[in-house]
Amino acid sequence: MAKLYFRYGAMNSGKSTALLQAAYNYEERHQNVLLAKPDTDTKGDDAIVSRLGVTRAVDFVVAPTDDLLEVFTAARAGAVEATGSDVACLLVDEVQFFTPRQVDDLLRVAVLENIPVLAYGIRTDFRTRAFAGAERLFEVAHSLEELKTICRCGRKAMFNARLIDGRYVFDGDQVAIEGATVTYEPLCAACYLDESGGVLA
């Protein structure tokens, strides 16, 4: 039986890079992979973009209302038709934006279809609150692996601070994808509490 893996970390912990490396490793062994991401992630349009400059198109994008099993099944059929061999792995970026039902479907892909699922994402938003998809993954994933990065002070970063026009903010909508004025910084607990005035939102 294949497994559902959740590899999580704060911003800038190399999640997209690790995903693209995993895809490369499979394909180097002549195995097919499918790459997916939620449509909430608008960086790179229909591609996964690593901070190191590596970009790769996804095979399908998932909207919050999509039946993930249906979308996956269609993409799998297309891959089999194009290559003559089945999919060896499903890799998902920004999985925290999936709904709990879609995360359950990732588990079904692994268990019922016997295809490993490597899901990458962050666990909490800029207010230290869990994303629904990440929370469900902590409940059902076979394997949890933290990808680590460091805070500006050198300690392990745990949280994702949001900055608007260079100033830290601690309230607002959960999702605000990077733009001209919105950026994120990985912080350790001490630095996060220092910037928030000791408040965990």
Taking the C-alpha atoms of residue 189 and residue 131, their distance in angstroms, rounded to an integer, is 18
Closest CA to 126 of 17, 179, 39, 199: 199
Four-residue CA torsion sign, 105, 106, 112, 115? positive
Please report the DSSP string for 76-110 in residue order: HHHHHHHHSS-EEEEEESSGGGS-HHHHHHHHHHH
The one-letter code for the residue type at 26 is: Y
Helix 100-112 and helix 132-140, axial crossing angle in degrees, nearest 10: 30
Active site residue 94: yes
Closest CA to 169 of 144, 199, 143: 199
**Cα 164 from chain centre:** 23
Q: Which of 27, 81, 94, 185 is catalytic?
A: 94
Helices (H) and strands (E) in the chain, counts: 5, 11
Residue positions annotated with a catalytic role: 94
